[in-house]
């Protein structure tokens, strides 16, 4: 007696994957590219994607192995170098290259080591809100009814809280504000946008014929969600998450600048910008370099998100 389960699975896969006519010409038998294949082909020719990818890859390398770029300590200072700001262009990569701050600490060393905290916050918050918001949005969009109503109202409540103001309130509950405390504060209110985007995408995808065919063949809810719906609903979520990553890095710098985020001895661009504002007339380089680094980082992720959005949207290609 044939195995009914295996037969149903095979038919389900056949429904989801169009067959190729053997009598068609060889050129037409070539497998059609998927949305992701078309997007990758478009991204490889997009200069914004190439430039942003190089910048992001360099940032990840610097955050993972800062000692490859400088051997100087970001916290050790010598008052002999107090506010020494004359650039040593002939000594690129040396501690004195970009000058020193008021405590005689190397601005270049702090710039390099501060990359880790900022990038860690951005990547960690994006991962958490994408997983949490994606799961909630997928459940709300697929099941509908009272489940959708409950999760949508919960999302509206959190969405109505100002993001930075709510993060400040959450951070005030902690005595020691480490990197992971800041990650928790930003993720606590940052999942709402991903939830809305995922919910809308799932509502659209679940009306597709292949989803109805999978249900008719007896596929379970988990299989339908993760095999058929999730891969086809991830495109807008990836775009939103990529652009939001730069925003989370900027939010961390803003909170640190206000004295509510990361604080010494943690090395962060926001901490250095906050310290540099008071000395903007005496030593503008202390404020200038971390500000430029922060701007380039946020710009790189925004450029990447825009490039991905254009590649994944057929109307824009």
pLDDT digits (tens, 9 = 90+) for 190-226: 999 999 999 999 999 888 888 888 888 888 888 888 8
Q: What is the mean pLDDT of residues 95-124?
A: 85
In a domain, 261, yes or no: yes
Q: Which domain holds residue 271?
A: 36-64+115-316
Peptide bond into 201 cis (omega under 30): no
Q: What is the mean pLDDT of residues 146-173?
A: 91
* Helix 192-205, helix 107-143: angle, nearest 10: 40
Q: What is the mean pLDDT of residues 161-186?
A: 90
Give CA–CA dist 228/233, Å, rounded. Answer: 9
Which pLDDT score, from 0 to 100, does residue 2 have? 44
Q: Is the pLDDT of residue 231 over 70?
A: yes
Give CA–CA dist 109/71, Å, rounded. Answer: 8
In a domain, 95, yes or no: no
Q: Is the pLDDT of residue 32 over 90?
A: no
For the chain, the domain total comes to: 1
Place of tokens 């380089």: 285
Q: Is the pLDDT of residue 139 over 50?
A: yes
Handedness of CA 280, 278, 108, 304 (dihedral sign): negative
Which pLDDT score, from 0 to 100, does residue 305 have? 87
Q: What is the pLDDT of residues 110-135, one digit of tens each?
A: 899 999 998 999 999 999 999 999 99
Which pLDDT score, from 0 to 100, does residue 89 have? 56
In a domain, 89, yes or no: no
In a domain, 6, yes or no: no
SS (H, E, C) the chain: CCCHHHHHHHHHHHHHCCCCCCCCCHHHHCCCCCHHHHHHHHHCCCHHHHHHHHHHHHHHHHHHCHHHCCCCCCCCCCHHHCCCCCCCHHHCCCCCCCCECCCCCEHHHHHHHHHHHHHHHHHHHHHHHHHHHHHHHHHHHHHCHHHHHHHHHHHHHHHCCCHHHHHHHHHCCCCCCCHHHHHHHHHHHHCHHHHHHHHHHHHHHCCCHHHHHHHHCCCCHHHHHHHHHHHHHHHHHHHHHHHHHHHHHHHHHHHHHCCCCCCCCCCCHHHHHHHHHCCCCCCCHHHHHHHHHHHHHHHHHHHHHHHHHHHHCHHHC
Q: What is the pLDDT of residues 265-311, one digit of tens each?
A: 888 898 888 888 877 777 788 888 899 999 999 999 999 988 888 88
Give CA–CA dist 104/133, Å, rounded. Answer: 44
Which pLDDT score, from 0 to 100, does residue 27 have? 43
Which of the four pLDDT bands, split at 50, 70 and 90, describes residue 5? very low
191, 127 in Cβ contact below 8 A? no
In a domain, 20, yes or no: no
In a domain, 24, yes or no: no
In a domain, 201, yes or no: yes
In a domain, 171, yes or no: yes
Which pLDDT score, from 0 to 100, does residue 130 have? 94
Which pLDDT score, from 0 to 100, does residue 299 have? 92
Which of the four pLDDT bands, split at 50, 70 and 90, describes residue 59? very high
Q: Is the pLDDT of residue 26 over 50?
A: no
95, 80 in Cβ contact below 8 A? no
pTM: 0.81
The CATH code of the domain that includes 236 is 1.10.3720.10
Which pLDDT score, from 0 to 100, does residue 31 have? 54
Which pLDDT score, from 0 to 100, does residue 88 have? 57
222, 228 in Cβ contact below 8 A? no
């Amino acid at each position: 007696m044939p195995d009914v389960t295996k037969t149903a699975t095979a038919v389900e896969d056949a429904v989801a994957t169009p067959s190729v006519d053997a009598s068609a010409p060889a050129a037409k038998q070539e497998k059609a590219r998927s949305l992701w294949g078309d997007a990758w082909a478009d991204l490889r020719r997009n200069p914004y994607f190439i430039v942003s990818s190089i910048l992001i890859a360099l940032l990840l390398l610097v955050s993972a192995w800062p000692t490859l770029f400088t051997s100087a300590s970001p916290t050790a200072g010598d008052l002999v170098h107090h506010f020494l700001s004359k650039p040593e262009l002939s000594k690129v990569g040396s501690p004195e290259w970009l000058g020193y701050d008021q405590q005689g600490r190397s601005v270049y060393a702090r710039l390099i080591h501060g990359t880790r905290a900022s990038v860690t916050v951005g990547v960690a918050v994006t991962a958490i809100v994408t997983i949490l918001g994606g799961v909630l949005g997928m459940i709300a969009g697929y099941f509908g009814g009272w489940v959708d109503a409950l999760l949508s109202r919960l999302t509206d409540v959190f969405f109505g809280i100002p993001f930075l103001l709510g993060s400040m309130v959450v951070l005030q509950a902690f005595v020691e504000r480490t990197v992971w405390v800041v990650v928790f504060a930003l993720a606590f209110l940052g999942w709402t946008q991903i939830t809305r985007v995922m919910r809308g995408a799932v509502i659209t995808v679940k009306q597709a014929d292949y989803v109805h065919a999978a249900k008719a063949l007896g596929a379970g809810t988990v299989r339908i969600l993760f095999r058929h719906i999730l891969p086809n609903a991830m495109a807008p979520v990836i775009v939103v998450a990529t652009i939001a990553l730069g925003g989370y890095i900027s939010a961390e710098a803003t909170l640190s600048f206000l004295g509510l985020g990361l604080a010494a001895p943690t090395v962060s661009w926001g901490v250095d910008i906050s310290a540099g504002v008071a000395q903007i007339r005496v030593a503008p380089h202390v404020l200038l370099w971390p500000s430029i680094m922060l701007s380039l980082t946020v710009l790189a992720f925004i450029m990447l998100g825009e490039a991905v959005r254009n590649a994944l949207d057929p109307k824009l290609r």
